[in-house]
Structure 1
Amino acid sequence: MLTIQTLKICDGIVLKKSNFHRNFSKKVKNVKDFNYQYLQKSKVPTMHFQKSLPRLPIPELSKSKDRFLNAVRPLMNSDEYAKTIQIVNSFADKEGKTLQETLIAKDKANKHTSYISDYWFDLYLRDRVALPINYNPLLVVQNDTRPEYNNQLLRASNLLVTSLRFMLSLRAQLLIPEVYHLNPKKSNTPSFWNVTGFLPESLSWYGAYLFKAFPLDMSQFPGLFNASRIPKINKDVIFRDPKSNHILIQKNGNFYVFDVLDSDGNLLAPTEILGNMAKIMNDNSPKAEFPLGVLTCQNRNEWAKQRAHLEETGNAEALKLIDSAIFNLVLDDETMGDDKHKLLKHYLHGDGANRWFDKSISLIVTKDGVSGVNFEHSWGDGVAVLRYIEDIYAETVKKPFLTPECKPSDKNISVKKMEFKLDDKAKHFVQKATKEYSDFYNSLSIDYILYEGLNKDRIKKFKVSGDCIMQLGFQAAYHLLYGKYVGTYESCSTSAFKHGRTETMRPCTDKTKAFCDGLHTKSKAELRALMQECTTYHSMLVKEAAMGQGFDRHLFALMKIAEDHNLPRPELFDSYAYKYLNKSILSTSTLSSPNMMGGGFGPVTKEGFGIAYSVFPDKVGAAVISYKDHNNSTHFVEALNKIFVDITNLLSGE
């Protein structure tokens, strides 16, 4: 990673020293402009490792069979489990063999991608449910420690400048490749980048492997920008226009656009961007009477019909401006303060009036400068989004281009407030969507827990996994409330492989069940021993999932192969065990970053919970979201707190 020392001022930077000598397709006027254009100047091209990334393996059918049976065993009684064994063995011995052979043949014929990629895109794009709550997650970064930098205009403008520098680095192949280092002190060194950069693309991954470093798939990163999901009947499409140079701004339900790159493709000066942003902030237009953004909160087929009507009535060009914008920057008139409940609701769903949930990324900045993203999920996963938000957060709090003393420039102002032609039918669409969306988000139960009795050091002291501790807490809390164990989903990235997406790790196991059953009856020594067993098994399952050796994606692909070839649907996929396991009552995902204030997502089933959790140096935390008609998130948080106290006592003393 290049280190370039700079002195930043409002309209650019003064270069002290750089040892960067490569040639790039992007032409800039001078060194000063060059260093302003790009957030990073990697010695190794962004996609250098992409060609040699290993391909996502297709697990052996026998291993997926065993893993599936292990996952369902703690959820079933003996009769149910005996029946499941028969069904699974029959599948593995009969139609499963043919489906496996067909899947392998298809995979060999498509070496440019992974066996799950197309099926996973299709799964997202065919689902007809609304995007907010059902799919779009939220991430909120910490506030700037300097109060004056949390001014809405200043913070939004700084985030915009750095986001564009990130995007231009990506476009120019200058963004540092995403690499997982087993031991960063030994591998994330100049030698690593020199050696791997020298190797041809076809061999570069192998060079990284010798350093015990693992480059990650970056095929999703271009989907961060200039992209939008377009509603279509039965299956949506992802639209991308990497050549567009404008940003989309939403304020009070109104839409604005302005060019952030000049005619040569170079980034406007910071104060010029500030000038455009100030013009929007100072626009006193009232709240939109018919805010079109709320239409993106609906069932996808319903929205597809409405969008077609909007296009037919003179709004096609305006909608294309929204779709092709680099990303959506949302300026909200709300203040968050220290209210975490309000924060979760605001970033997860809001009232829909000042949102466009179809955009790949919506960067939301509130009146008091609280900042985060709500992102559409079909195009990619958390690896790309977290990298983006972490990188822009780091620069804006350490070396922002704009300071409170900077004055907006009146040069290169191109702000255009978008106007839409709305007939009575379109107005009715908005009114109806507003009422239905209000009913939808008001059906949620949202709560959170921040528990200081457990933290990274305390957990590490007893040589147990923090992730395992959290999952034990969820299992025990649910069992405390409902007296049973249910299908549990923990997301695990497979980005170590070309076009990898995610795999499901199944944290409800025989071992976690034994621990939870004995939590209030067994001795401390017995429970500690069980916890060690849980940690060992949990860590093994996480590793298997990350290495493409889970079973969920494999079985799903086999089911899709049967559909593709018009074969009879195997009994396994309609069995009680398969359906019960895949009804993810506890849908969980971890986010442990000191730069994040919070994250969250909705439940994936009406009867379930969406749980985003973190293990911090000084505490553990979780955001818990459910539907009021089925569950109460506050009751779950209360039960979880009791379990955490029990675990704390277990890890205390001799």
Structure 2
Amino acid sequence: MAEAHAAVAFSFSITHEGWDVNFDREVLHLVWQSGVRSWKKRIARLLNNLHNGIYPGHYSYLCLIIGVVSAMHLYGQRVPLNLPPKILSLCPSQTLYWQLGACTITSLSYWLSAVYFLRYSLKMLFMYKGWMYESQVKGSKPSLATRIWAVFVSIIEGWNTPKLYSYQSSLPRLPLPSLHDTMTRYLRSVRPLLDDKSYTKMVKLADEFENGIGKKLQRYIILKSWWSTNYVSDWWEEYVYLRGRYPLMINSNFYGIDAIMLHPTSNQAARAASIINSLLRFRRLLDRQELDPILIQGMVPLCSWQYERIFNTTRVPGDEADKIIHISDSNHIAVYHKGRYFKVIIHHKGRILRPAEIQMQIEQILKDTSEPQEGEEKLAALTAGLRRHWAKVRQSYFSKGVNRLSLDAIERAAFVVVLDDFPYEFDMEDPSKLDNYGKVLLHGKGYDRWFDKSFTLCIGNNGRLGFNAEHSWGDAAVMSHLWEWVITEESYEPRSDAPIIAHCLEYILLEESENIRFDHRGNALGNPEFTPPPPNRLNWDIPKSCQCAIEESLHIANILINDIDLRIYVHDNYGKGFMKSCNLSPDAYIQMALQLAYFRDAGKFCLTYEAAMTRMFREGRTETVRPCSQESVAWVKGMEDKSNSIEEKIKLLKIACANHQRAYKDAMCGKGIDRHIFCLYVVSKYLEVDSPFIKEVMSEPWRLSTSQTPHGQTKKLDLKKHPKCISAGGGFGPVADDGYGVSYIIAGEDLLFFHISNKKSCPTTDCHRFAKKIEQALADMRQLYVDFKN
């Protein structure tokens, strides 16, 4: 218990000789530093909130208005609305100070009026989505309305430089579709999946719903859309994620992989230190709101709300529902290695520890030969099992004492780091190595990932890495942005806080090898300025009954692990360059390939899910695109019909891709189907109303669940200069027991990655077989255009 004694900063005791006070100056100094840092962040956060509160206005314009109004009033000129004399009439005197005060109040009212006028004007402009539907063909000109819109947006945005959250109050609310429009779109989406009899039945159910209980349910959602920021997001977070009692591992959490074309060092401690430092630098950008907001077409912002919970966040289990706990600051990370947990301090005198300093801490953990305490090694299995079971165990064994302190150290950490004692391997000649790489990140051993944490950074003993992320706090696009920034920053962006000599060395190394983070021995560049605080081993008191509960969760986790299969298919025959040369959207092209592959694999079509973001609206998350449409079915059948000409097949493909692209844009613009029906379902449950239509819709399985991992979200990434600096994307488990989970990333002009998962217990699905179907579908689609040109 030496660590526990060292943590006591102050003690007070009374003896027969009097009273005695002892204190540890070093610990009190750490407490003082933490407090100062916390107050600095609070002040910075307050200033940022003031900046965002007046965006797109600026304080300098207020000073200018005060000067103009004061000059006009003092020289006898009448200012607009003649406010200074009216204010002075309420003052006790007419001295110069009172006159200047009246002019200041007048100027403030003018300025605030202008600020709110600009803000609401910007919100109205952002409601216009016509630019999304206009042709993106090279050389085509936007419409007159879009050009006028762009001019006004540019003028208003030019008044001030935005911070990360500056646009939040200017983003419009997610529009609520009419009940009739949703019913019409839904029936059209399921038509290719139903025979005539089933479709007639569904039309009848939809008509009864629309003209019956649906009207009442819609009125409640209309009311919610008026007073809530986003009529979907809070219910989506609660009912889809937090109320789920199933295990998070595989079923909900997702993973991301390293830039596998690069391997800057095989030194595990050095690579961990470099990435940890980069993650902390990204967190500092978030805290200071210095990260640039993402702008579509350089003008339309995406909602940045989800970024607030990337760090210092954990999902806490509950009996009926979990809750997300986010703290404003954390000065440590939690590290797991060979069954032991450590608390590692990451700040010193107001700055982030440098990579060389963090490497020293990681090396101390790697060299530690102590054994795990009883129950400690497999403790995280509780986060991989059933949520209700974890909630009961947490309440019984981790609500007080040393267990509570240690659990707090993990849950209140900035993030969790796992140092694995085996390598993460990639070999183009042996695909199984990359498959195992993905499995390690998706589920590990079932007890070596803290699945409740917003994300867990995982590092193999050969220096390769990845992450496992919890899903309720945010979507994959946000983690993808973080990961892209970190990988890019580590690969070729010099650190601004490094010493000048180190900068020179970094640039020299960049010219020679592009490895600007590690020396020739694989260690992090730079010398430590001081000896950093040693890692603090966490202590646990886990009785036998709790260990049995841990084993119970691990049993559930092992069942899931043994049932999941994963194939990561690397397609390097061609990429988006060829797809664009065919004048087709790369995403639509790949979705059509997936439809063709699934039909060849299963002999039928299925309800297909593709995630589209709705972050052009405030607190937007995702909407569903349904790629299996009448047009895509017509194309697939046309491809399989040998009597069809090449020209006819290409024509059908273009029609299918155009339809898919429009459906994707509809989903992004709030014209989707599934989130609206989901909210209708929630209201029906609140009112305890049964609807045969909603019951039918909600019971439909998504046998093909797909998602594209976005990239190019940071301005740092330049694949033309650094083509190897790209993550291989990430993946997730299948949504349906008899379905596939497919995540893909368009990694470059000639490179695609597909992460395909399925359950081994299902006799009709096989991710390895499906990968070959995708490969063949992509080859056949390319051959269409090759034959057409010849």
Pairwise TM-score range, normalised by the shorter structure: 0.7 to 0.9
Matched, 1:160 2:276: yes
2: distance between equivalents of 1:452 and 1:161? 33
- Once the two structures are TM-superposed, the CA of residue 95 in structure 1 deviates from its matched residue by 1.7
- TM-superposition CA deviations, 1:582-628 (whole Å, max 9, x none): x1100100125462123110001211111011233113331110001
Match of residue 250, structure 1, among 329, 336, 353: 336
* 2:593 partner letter: G
2: distance between equivalents of 1:100 and 1:432? 44
Q: Does the residue aligned with 2:786 lie in a helix, a strand or coil?
A: coil
| Identity score, percent | 30
Matched, 1:122 2:256: no
Q: Does the residue aligned with 2:369 lie in a helix, a strand or coil?
A: coil
* 1:100 partner letter: Q
Q: Does the residue aligned with 1:350 lie in a helix, a strand or coil?
A: coil
Matched, 1:378 2:472: yes
Q: Contact (CA 8 Å) 2:418, 2:449: kept in 1 or not?
A: yes
- Once the two structures are TM-superposed, the CA of residue 337 in structure 1 deviates from its matched residue by 2.1
Q: Are the structure 2 counterparts of residues 454 and 270 from structure 1 closer, same or farther at C-alpha, using a change threshold of 3 Å? A: closer
Matched, 1:534 2:656: yes
- TM-superposition CA deviations, 1:81-125 (whole Å, max 9, x none): 011111111211222122212211122122xx2000111111200
1: distance between equivalents of 2:775 and 2:344? 48
Matched, 1:275 2:354: no
1: distance between equivalents of 2:658 and 2:385? 44
Q: Contact (CA 8 Å) 1:475, 1:508: kept in 2 or not?
A: yes
Q: Contact (CA 8 Å) 1:602, 1:626: kept in 2 or not?
A: yes
Q: Does the residue aligned with 1:390 lie in a helix, a strand or coil?
A: helix
Q: Are the structure 2 counterparts of residues 225 and 539 from structure 1 closer, same or farther at C-alpha, using a change threshold of 3 Å? A: same
Matched, 1:560 2:678: no
Gap regions ≥5 residues in structure 2: 1-40, 46-159, 427-432, 499-516, 712-724
* 2:485 partner letter: D
Q: Contact (CA 8 Å) 2:256, 2:731: kept in 1 or not?
A: yes
Greater CA deviation, 48-57 or 285-294?
285-294
Q: Are the structure 2 counterparts of residues 143 and 458 from structure 1 closer, same or farther at C-alpha, using a change threshold of 3 Å? A: closer
Match of residue 574, structure 1, among 683, 689, 695: 695
Residue in 1 that maps onto 2:562: 442
Match of residue 176, structure 1, among 265, 275, 292: 292
Q: Contact (CA 8 Å) 2:333, 2:413: kept in 1 or not?
A: yes
- Once the two structures are TM-superposed, the CA of residue 373 in structure 1 deviates from its matched residue by 1.4
Q: Contact (CA 8 Å) 2:452, 2:470: kept in 1 or not?
A: yes
Correspondences of 1:468-617 after superposition (within 5 Å): 468-521=588-641, 522-564=644-686, 566-575=687-696, 578-580=698-700, 583-593=701-711, 595-615=726-746, 616-617=748-749
* 2:598 partner letter: Y
- Once the two structures are TM-superposed, the CA of residue 409 in structure 1 deviates from its matched residue by 5.8
- Once the two structures are TM-superposed, the CA of residue 350 in structure 1 deviates from its matched residue by 0.7
> How does the TM-score come out when normalised to structure 2?
0.71
Q: Contact (CA 8 Å) 1:25, 1:172: kept in 2 or not?
A: no
- Once the two structures are TM-superposed, the CA of residue 542 in structure 1 deviates from its matched residue by 0.5
Q: Contact (CA 8 Å) 2:457, 2:467: kept in 1 or not?
A: yes
1: distance between equivalents of 2:529 and 2:321? 44
- TM-superposition CA deviations, 1:339-367 (whole Å, max 9, x none): 21111111111102321000001111111
- Once the two structures are TM-superposed, the CA of residue 266 in structure 1 deviates from its matched residue by 3.2
2: distance between equivalents of 1:294 and 1:320? 17
Residue in 2 that maps onto 1:238: 324
* 1:303 partner letter: W
2: distance between equivalents of 1:130 and 1:465? 36
2: distance between equivalents of 1:635 and 1:513? 21
1: distance between equivalents of 2:446 and 2:382? 8
- TM-superposition CA deviations, 1:228-283 (whole Å, max 9, x none): 00111010011112232111111112111122124x64323443333222222222
Q: Does the residue aligned with 1:470 lie in a helix, a strand or coil?
A: helix
Q: Are the structure 2 counterparts of residues 600 and 82 from structure 1 closer, same or farther at C-alpha, using a change threshold of 3 Å? A: same
Q: Contact (CA 8 Å) 2:728, 2:753: kept in 1 or not?
A: no
Residue in 2 that maps onto 1:195: none
Q: Contact (CA 8 Å) 1:152, 1:367: kept in 2 or not?
A: yes
- Once the two structures are TM-superposed, the CA of residue 288 in structure 1 deviates from its matched residue by 6.2
- Once the two structures are TM-superposed, the CA of residue 53 in structure 1 deviates from its matched residue by 0.8
2: distance between equivalents of 1:330 and 1:526? 54
Greater CA deviation, 491-500 or 472-481?
472-481
Residue in 1 that maps onto 2:26: none
* 1:396 partner letter: E
Gap regions ≥5 residues in structure 1: 1-22, 28-41, 188-212
Greater CA deviation, 540-549 or 159-168?
159-168
2: distance between equivalents of 1:608 and 1:289? 40
Matched, 1:652 2:738: no
Residue in 2 that maps onto 1:95: 213
2: distance between equivalents of 1:90 and 1:48? 45
- Once the two structures are TM-superposed, the CA of residue 214 in structure 1 deviates from its matched residue by 1.1
Residue in 1 that maps onto 2:586: 466
2: distance between equivalents of 1:144 and 1:454? 17
Q: Contact (CA 8 Å) 2:638, 2:652: kept in 1 or not?
A: no
Correspondences of 1:360-375 after superposition (within 5 Å): 360-375=454-469
When Rg is computed on C-alpha atoms for both structures, the one with the higher figure is: 2
- TM-superposition CA deviations, 1:154-200 (whole Å, max 9, x none): 111111111111112211222222222x2xxxx4xxxxxxxxxxxxx
Residue in 1 that maps onto 2:769: 635
Q: Are the structure 2 counterparts of residues 426 and 407 from structure 1 closer, same or farther at C-alpha, using a change threshold of 3 Å? A: farther
Matched, 1:393 2:487: yes
Match of residue 439, structure 2, among 317, 325, 345: 345
Match of residue 301, structure 2, among 181, 199, 215: 215
Q: Does the residue aligned with 1:442 lie in a helix, a strand or coil?
A: helix
Q: Contact (CA 8 Å) 2:706, 2:741: kept in 1 or not?
A: yes
Q: Are the structure 2 counterparts of residues 625 and 145 from structure 1 closer, same or farther at C-alpha, using a change threshold of 3 Å? A: closer
Residue in 2 that maps onto 1:203: none
Does 1 or 2 have the higher relative contact order (CA < 8 Å, sep 6+)? 1
* 1:142 partner letter: A
- TM-superposition CA deviations, 1:500-547 (whole Å, max 9, x none): 010000000011111111212122111100000011100000000111
Q: Does the residue aligned with 2:565 lie in a helix, a strand or coil?
A: strand
Residue in 2 that maps onto 1:302: 389
